[in-house]
Structure 1
């Protein structure tokens, strides 16, 4: 047998082994994913509920909140270029609050992802930052986990505030003539979050009836 034939046969055998290995590895990964998917999904759901319960007291609603949502298309008012979700809290079947996914596009270091809970009575129940790239030790106080003031985190000042009492014109940081505090040297971060919270409250109030009556899982 010539050296050329031997080399060709070796190459074919090696290629065959690689194909078998690839198929087996792919099958193993697929099987592993199917086995672990319920656990991963359950963990993701628990994470969402923990976050929602930070902005909305658990006692204020009794429905399966993660199953009661509407999907938004691109919504500039909320900074959602690709759309997002609004979850609907109900108590004894009656509207209790809306939990909105919001993005502040004008943070110091870019987009700031947030959730804002707005009660059916127009009061902001709470605000949380869920993702940002603000400067560590300076602008990241917008995230209560990073805020050095653990007894009175900056973002808690939005909780239980009536949007109607303040109005859109005054829903600003004090430096801009509004009513909300900011921190020295990091006003841009606070301003972005404050404006986004105002837009979320305004949107929730103006679209309240349509949001609560839309079919669960539907798209607006």
Structure 2
């Protein structure tokens, strides 16, 4: 009986060692592909909020790290043309009906929105997912806005006294996005010198 238990333990140990080694080899073999895919996704997101004609640098190769108003560390990607910073992009965060909404915000050096895209969310399909550019044009309404042409107090959904449409049956989702973008614009306004100053 003791000998059977020992044999079973050795067989189980051999299987665990074999599968563990296989997982480690697979991880090593695919980590470069995973990193390349993540870089490609980041470049694609940045290209949607920082137009090609405003920069001649690699956006992912020119980041700085800052802390936002909530104490959260964020990576700011800088667009440069002829060495001058022409725009920046960074992630902002809002609270939706089903959790956090991650948004990429692009702003030019004067403080005007160049683009906004939702990166990730868990909102209800067919209802809250209208924040995605592939599901509708709602998210495009931020482009061209700034605190100069739309006062801070108007950066709300219409139900809250602002200018942005909400969705029928899904006010929480657009409210979360508008709040995130407004916070991102406040971050830009508070840090404009550091964000737009070429080093």
TM range (shorter): 0.7 to 0.9
- Shift in alpha-carbon separation, 1:176–1:74, aligned structure 2, 3 A: closer
Q: Distance in 1 between matches of 2:57 and 2:39?
A: 15
Partner of 2:114: 125
Q: Distance in 1 between matches of 2:122 and 2:163?
A: 25
Partner of 2:79: 89
Q: Which runs of 5+ in 2 are unaligned?
A: none
Instruction: Please list the CA deviations of residues 72-116 of structure 1 after superposition, one character each: whole Å capped at 9, or x if unmatched.
Output: 45742xxxx7533222222221112111111112x2333221111
- Partner of residue 54 from structure 2, selected from 41, 48, 60: 60
Q: Which runs of 5+ in 1 are unaligned?
A: 1-6, 148-152, 216-220
Matched, 1:206 2:195: no
Instruction: Please list the CA deviations of residues 167-208 of structure 1 after superposition, one character each: whole Å capped at 9, or x if unmatched.
Output: 212222333333333333333322221122111012113212
- Shift in alpha-carbon separation, 1:195–1:118, aligned structure 2, 3 A: same
Deviation, structure 1 residue 214: 9.2
Q: Distance in 1 between matches of 2:91 and 2:38?
A: 16
Contact 1:65-1:89 at 8 Å conserved across structures: yes
- Partner of residue 11 from structure 2, selected from 9, 17, 20: 17
Contact 1:73-1:82 at 8 Å conserved across structures: yes
Deviation, structure 1 residue 70: 2.4
Partner of 1:98: 88
Deviation, structure 1 residue 162: 2.7
Superposition RMSD on alpha carbons, in Å? 2.3
With normalisation by structure 2, the TM-score equals 0.87
Moved beyond 6 Å, runs of 4+: none
Contact 2:112-2:145 at 8 Å conserved across structures: yes
Rg: which structure is higher? 1
